[in-house]
């Protein structure tokens, strides 16, 4: 007769190592949470008073930004930020999805691999380099257009948009490609077996099935575009006026580095106020997208 082994633990409770590790993981997790909480608090504390002083309505909807005269209206910057980001996403989305389709479905393996490496490289280029290229190549090109239309030549919204398009394309492409690749092959087989052409199966089945992933790409792209300052400063002309496509614009992000060095007192507080406005906008965009993403996802999963 063989002896059976008892399954009652020799020591009760978790071991010391296990407990220490759990604590360590918890601390690491808390760091991130604490950072977000303190940043939010700091932005509110630093930016809140000036908004209260100027008045929420005058600050957010005021049309004149003239710190010397204590006029702190940031409405032109808010509109410019939305216009530049929205325009960039609208252009980058169709381009990005088409490139993603090409990479995931149509390109021969070798070409796809080479393209993918180049696109990753694009994502790694520092934004100031994009700014340089924009200032040297893109802006002079648009000067021609402005001259032809008898407009004053300057940095402009169109240039800012196009630079942002190039900057967010890699994100949209790679996230969309992953999403399209994740669509089960069975869907496409079913589409083909019903007599679809290859393109019909991609555009009527695979892309709709990858919808939630593509939306995630838009969220990330929007986040990057709306937060970008350096490249935009160099091509946008930076006048704090209501935006026109070929006129100079100043975004929320760019106001801060442009004026930081020489600002003081209320002026500097106002820059904090801009920071807070940007912070709230990005939070709002993220929340809205996340909500719609959840809805879309729920439908996809049935």
Partner 1 sequence: MKGNTEIQKLRTEDLHLYYGDVHALKGINMDVHSRCITALIGPSGCGKSTFLKTLNRMNDTIPSVKITGKVILDGEDVYGKNVDVTVLRKKVGMVFQSPNPFPMSIYDNIAYGPRVHGQKRRHELDEIVERSLTSAAIWDEVKDRLKKPALGLSGGQQQRLCIARCLATQPEILLMDEPTSALDPISTSKIEELIYDLKKEYSIVIVTHNMQQAARVSDYTAFFLLGELIEYDTTNAIFSSPKVQQTENYITGRFG
Residues that bind partner 1 (CB under 8 A): 184, 186-187, 189-197, 200, 204-205, 208-209, 299-302
Beta carbon nearer to partner 1, 208 or 257: 208
Minimum CB distance to partner 1, residue 215 (Å):
15
Distance of alpha carbon 124 from alpha carbon 301, whole angstroms: 34
Distance of alpha carbon 162 from alpha carbon 91, whole angstroms: 8
Q: Which residues contact 190 (CB under 8 A, 6 or more apart)?
A: 205
Minimum CB distance to partner 1, residue 189 (Å):
7
Beta carbon nearer to partner 1, 187 or 289: 187
Beta carbon nearer to partner 1, 205 or 235: 205
Minimum CB distance to partner 1, residue 118 (Å):
25
Distance of alpha carbon 166 from alpha carbon 191, whole angstroms: 34
Beta carbon nearer to partner 1, 227 or 296: 296
Q: Which residues contact 147 (CB under 8 A, 6 or more apart)?
A: 153
Minimum CB distance to partner 1, residue 92 (Å):
25
Torsion of Cα atoms, 152 then 154 then 158 then 161, to 10°: -160
Listing DSSP states for 66-95 in one string gives EGGGTEE--HHHHHHHHHHHHHHHHHHHHH
Three-state secondary structure string covering 198-244 = HHHHHHHHHHHHCHHHHHHHHHHHHHHHHHCCHHHHHHHECCCCCCC
Minimum CB distance to partner 1, residue 29 (Å):
34
Distance of alpha carbon 236 from alpha carbon 83, whole angstroms: 12
Beta carbon nearer to partner 1, 244 or 292: 292
Q: Which residues contact 204 (CB under 8 A, 6 or more apart)?
A: 191, 196
Minimum CB distance to partner 1, residue 76 (Å):
43
Beta carbon nearer to partner 1, 40 or 196: 196
Minimum CB distance to partner 1, residue 209 (Å):
5
Residue 1, token pair as written in the block: 């007769």
Beta carbon nearer to partner 1, 3 or 301: 301
């Amino acid at each position: 007769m063989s002896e059976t082994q008892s399954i009652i633990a020799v020591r009760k409770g978790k071991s010391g190592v296990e407990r220490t590790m759990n604590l360590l993981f918890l601390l690491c997790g808390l760091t991130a949470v604490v950072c977000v909480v303190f940043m939010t608090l700091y932005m509110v504390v630093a930016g809140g008073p000036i908004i209260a002083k100027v008045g929420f309505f005058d600050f957010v909807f005021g049309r004149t930004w003239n710190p010397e005269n204590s006029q702190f209206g940031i409405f032109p910057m808010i509109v410019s930020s939305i216009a530049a980001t929205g325009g960039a996403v609208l252009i980058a989305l169709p381009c990005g999805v088409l490139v993603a389709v090409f990479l995931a479905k149509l390109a021969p393996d070798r070409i796809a691999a080479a393209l993918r490496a180049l696109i990753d490289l694009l994502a790694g280029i520092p934004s100031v380099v994009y700014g340089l290229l924009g200032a040297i190549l893109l802006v002079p090109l648009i000067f021609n257009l402005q001259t032809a239309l008898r407009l004053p030549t300057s940095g402009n919204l169109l240039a800012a948009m196009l630079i942002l398009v190039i900057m967010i394309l890699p994100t949209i492409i790679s996230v969309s490609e992953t999403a399209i690749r994740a669509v089960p092959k069975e869907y496409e087989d079913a589409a083909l077996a019903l007599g679809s052409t290859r393109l019909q199966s991609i555009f009527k089945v695979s892309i709709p099935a990858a919808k939630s992933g593509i939306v995630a790409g838009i969220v990330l792209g929007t986040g990057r575009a709306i937060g970008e300052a350096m490249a935009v400063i160099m091509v946008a002309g930076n006048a704090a006026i209501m935006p026109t496509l070929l006129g100079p614009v100043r975004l929320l992000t760019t106001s801060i580095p442009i004026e930081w060095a020489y600002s003081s007192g209320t002026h500097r507080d106002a820059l904090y106020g801009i920071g807070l406005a940007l912070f709230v906008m990005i939070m709002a965009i993220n929340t809205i997208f996340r909500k719609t993403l959840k809805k879309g996802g729920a439908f996809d999963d049935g």
